[in-house]
A and B are shown apart, each in its own frame.
Chain A
Amino acid sequence: MSTPFPSGPISSVSGTSVVVRGDDIDTDRIIPARFLKCVTFDALGPAAFADDRAELAGSAAGPHPFDRPAHQGASILLVNRNFGCGSSREHAPQALMRWGIRAVVGESFAEIFYGNCLALGIPCLTADHDTMLAIQEAAEADPAAPFCLEVADQTLSCGTQHWTLSLAEGPHQMLLSGQWDATGQLLAHDAELKATAARLPYLHQFQGA
């Protein structure tokens, strides 16, 4: 994809959308296990939803949204409940990111998937059931319509339509400040890391425990 990967503060994501409906879409579906045989994430983009896409290709239900021409280049993924459940594989958000996704909006997310997305700078915002259905309907009605997701005020808009989303305070601040990639922050607390290690009995043969 031509869009660069996320970096620095992330205050908004704009672009066209792609709707993948259904609850409990697990990471085995987002990226089937056979694609985990790799030592880099580089080639995962085209494999996103590979089996679902193969299943739907040529079926009466039509191609999978990721295969529809109108959605090529989409950057906002619109989903339903418990998206990303199952395996902890970061290959799942990596595949979505490399396909072009830069933000996900859904009713709810599995925790590990959510954290993995955040670590890549992909905001996952939530909306209640009815709002989500309204957003998905609007997106399906006009696949070419540009959406704009504002991380700062937690809204999604498309033309004259606006929806209120939510995002927990921590991730909200991390995205806006550009500190969503935690490594630097974790390393900054060297003295505290040493102090914690010093008080854990199992690191010291339980002396004085």
Chain B
Amino acid sequence: MSSGTLYDKVWDLHEVSQLPGGATQLFIGLHLIHEVTSPQAFAGLKDLGLSVRHPERTVATVDHIVPTTSQARPFADPLAEEMLATLEANCAEHGITLHGIGSGRQGIVHVIAPELGLTQPGMTVACGDSHTSTHGAFGAIAFGIGTSQVRDVLASQSLAMGKLKVRRIWVDGQLQSGVYAKDLVLHVIRTLGVKGGVGYAYEFAGPAIAALSMEERMTLCNMAIEGGARCGYVNPDQVTFDYLKGRPFAPSGAAWDQAVTWWSALASGSEAVFDDEVRFDAAAIAPTITWGITPGQGIGVDETVPTLEQTEPDERPLAEEAYRYMDLQPGAPIAGLPVDVCFIGSCTNGRLSDLQAAAAVAKGRHVAPGIKAFVVPGSEQVAAAAEAEGLDKLFVEAGFEWREPGCSMCLAMNPDRLEGRQISASSSNRNFKGRQGSASGRTLLMSPAMVAAAAINGRVSDVRTLLNA
């Protein structure tokens, strides 16, 4: 059993009680809500005659259903409008802050909470969304929950949880130029499998992790869930503190120094015991891309689609399903595969540095004929920062559309969707069948720079060749 890790320390601090069924009642320091998974939770609260215990610890935004073209109200889609109106009414009734469209603070929930300084080391963070693992980048214990649990957190600011084991993912070396946190995490998932992390929290550590920016750490932790780990985290360090300092909800004045002292003490110490450890070498990782229908079906851009013989026996049925669905031949190279749609955005890769990385590739080039390429900033703040640098113009000149912030074609609950058998190069996190809005649509996951490269060439390309050109 793990001990002395950040996970253990934060867990112990937030333990409220032991419940009769053996679960722990865990206090939730920050509760994030959005329009998709909260309406039924508020309805459940009403059914039970309960109120919100700590409305000041719940923060709302709207992201999944917002259109990325015109965001004028009412939305063209009456269902989307009803969902936002319901969220607005629930927040107003219960005294919850909603960072809505036009506030300057709206965006994907996992983008805005960090950039507002709401997410901090040592917190427990819950949200009715599996990519809540993102917030672990700050050394928080952050995990996705279902709607019944959203109701429970609203009512009690706590949850019934079982403690996870802790696996340290130690990454030596340094990522090569053209290789990003997205490639690293796709590589980890490819290696350990989509179920490899079930029952675990992933602690990402080692020289390669220490060298990552906060935004890269968020990309990494964001996809811990795709590797089966309900949460992933990075120990807080100077990079974390530098990012947080001065943000609207970060501590300030005397509280700042005390916070830094407290945060620093939370990091896993040298005496920490892990349940498991896996090591990687960052330098050996190539730009990585998924070819199949789970995020674990990834390969280096210079590799070929694995044959059945190269696939573990128990993974073969899934591989066969993926060949059929993706219409790919085992043994075929992935580079050169034509794409139809290129999407840059999502809570995985919709932050400023992601847009900068894509812009570096797009600069002075043009999207290939027939390709639909669009950029969706993760938040209003990201959009503003990118526009201040002229990235919007750069993208538009290169043939990309520049859109309003939201989840967009990550899961296509808004009008942005694939059509028919279209194949997308996407900087999002899931390539499940039908994920991007068409029941037969296909998704290749990759870094934003790789998406930009695919847009320019009209086909899957190794971004390193464009960066070095």
Contact = CB atoms under 8 A, between A and B. Distances in A.
B106 to A, nearest CB: 19
Contacts of B439: 32, 51, 54-55
A189 B344 CA distance: 45
B447 interface: no
A115 interface: yes
Contacts of A52: 433
B195 A24 contact: yes
A182 B23 CA distance: 10
A85 B21 contact: no
Interface string A83-112: 001111111011000000000000010111
Interface in B138-192: 143-149, 151-152, 155-160, 162
A22 B20 contact: no
B259 A23 contact: no
Interface stretch (B33-41, B94-102, B387-395): B33-41
Contacts of A172: 21
Contact of B148 (A116, A199, A200): A116
Given A185-B25, A193-B158, A86 B195 contact: no
Interface in B434-458: 434-435, 437, 439-440
A37 B65 contact: yes
A201 B262 contact: yes
A60 B153 CA distance: 47
Contacts of A82: 194-195, 198, 228
Given A40-B40, A116-B148, A185 B20 contact: yes
A131 interface: no
A120 interface: yes
Contacts of A70: none
A193 B80 contact: no
A181 interface: yes
A139 to B, nearest CB: 19
A2 interface: no
A95 B380 CA distance: 34
B198 A33 contact: no
B27 A196 contact: yes
Nearest to B127: A88
A138 B160 CA distance: 36
B43 interface: yes
Contact of A177 (B20, B132, B194, B262): B20
A75 interface: no
Q: Which of B54, B159, B255 has the largest number of chain A CB atoms within 10 A?
A: B255
Contacts of A90: 37, 40, 128, 146-148
B353 interface: no
Interface in A19-53: 22-24, 26, 28-29, 32-34, 36-41, 51-52
B160 to A, nearest CB: 4
B83 interface: yes
Contacts, number: 219
B278 interface: no
A40 B43 contact: yes
Contacts of A205: 251, 255
Contact of B22 (A119, A169, A200): A169
A192 B25 contact: yes
B146 A182 contact: no
Contacts of B317: 22-23
B284 interface: no
B129 A108 contact: no
B434 A28 contact: yes
A110 B23 CA distance: 17
Given A51-B433, A171-B21, A112 B144 contact: yes
A22 B321 contact: yes
Interface in B188-217: 194-195, 198-199
B158 A37 contact: no
A186 B158 contact: yes
Nearest to A33: B411
Interface in B92-126: 120, 122-123
B40 A120 contact: no
Contact of B194 (A85, A111, A115, A196): A85
Contacts of A208: 258
B351 interface: no
B132 to A, nearest CB: 8
A108 B198 contact: yes
A166 to B, nearest CB: 14
Interface in B6-22: 13-17, 19-22
B211 to A, nearest CB: 27
B130 interface: yes
A110 to B, nearest CB: 7
B310 interface: no
B13 A200 contact: yes
B430 interface: yes
A89 B439 CA distance: 18
Nearest to B199: A111
B158 to A, nearest CB: 5
Nearest to A187: B156
A199 B13 contact: yes
7 contacts: A40-B40, A41-B40, A86-B430, A90-B147, A111-B198, A115-B146, A182-B23
Interface of B: 13-17, 19-23, 25, 27, 29, 36-37, 39-40, 43, 48, 50, 53-54, 64-65, 77, 79-80, 82-83, 86, 120, 122-123, 128-130, 132, 143-149, 151-152, 155-160, 162, 194-195, 198-199, 228, 230, 251, 255, 258-259, 261-262, 294, 314, 317-318, 321, 411-413, 430, 432-435, 437, 439-440
Given A88-B144, A187-B50, A193-B156, 19 more contacts: A23-B318, A26-B430, A37-B77, A37-B413, A41-B40, A110-B198, A116-B146, A120-B148, A169-B21, A170-B21, A170-B162, A185-B19, A196-B158, A197-B54, A201-B258, A202-B251, A206-B258, A206-B259, A209-B259
